[in-house]
Structure 1
């Protein structure tokens, strides 16, 4: 399994909705246009093919950032109470 951060900038509303709905089937939305996906190679290939069929290569921007386990373990996120949390629960 490989963890991938997907970020996109798509001005066309219809394509943006299609990409968002597609990504919701592959990972967790962490921002409006950012998803965190954990994929095996077959799902990664399927996602890549599906994205190619939706995106306009001239107008749309999409980036995939692989995230190793070490970096994922170091990631931080705001919790519902507005505190910055480490993945292991430690609060900043």
Structure 2
């Protein structure tokens, strides 16, 4: 499955359990792959990324919570390393075409 998408790493620190669950479910709805407790890998088009940012911004409490988006280039993706328990990456499931 190929799509014109960017590789986006989303990391979050959400205080409230209910908000954290909503964030997790939203990322899963966008096809995100959980690679750590509060870290997801996503393949998103520009439009999907814009929509996701808006949805997540509507969930968080800016005075308590933090979400970070890391948009990685092709060279950066090739340098991803994993140590310890192997977690299947979203990259193992699809092929990326960069825009």
What TM-score does the superposition give when structure 1 sets the normalisation length?
0.81
Note if 1:62 corresponds to 2:67. Answer: yes
Question: CA separation in 2, counterparts of 1:25 and 1:79?
Answer: 27
For the aligned residue pairs, the C-alpha RMSD in angstroms reads: 2.0
State the shift of 1:31 in Å: 0.3
Q: Which protein shows a greater Rg?
A: 1
List runs of 5+ in structure 1 lacking aligned partners.
none
Partner of 2:9: 5
Q: How far off is 1:77 after superposition?
A: 2.3
Unaligned 5+ runs, structure 2: 93-99
Aligned length: 83
2:43 to 35, 38, 45: 38
Match of 1:21 in 2: 25
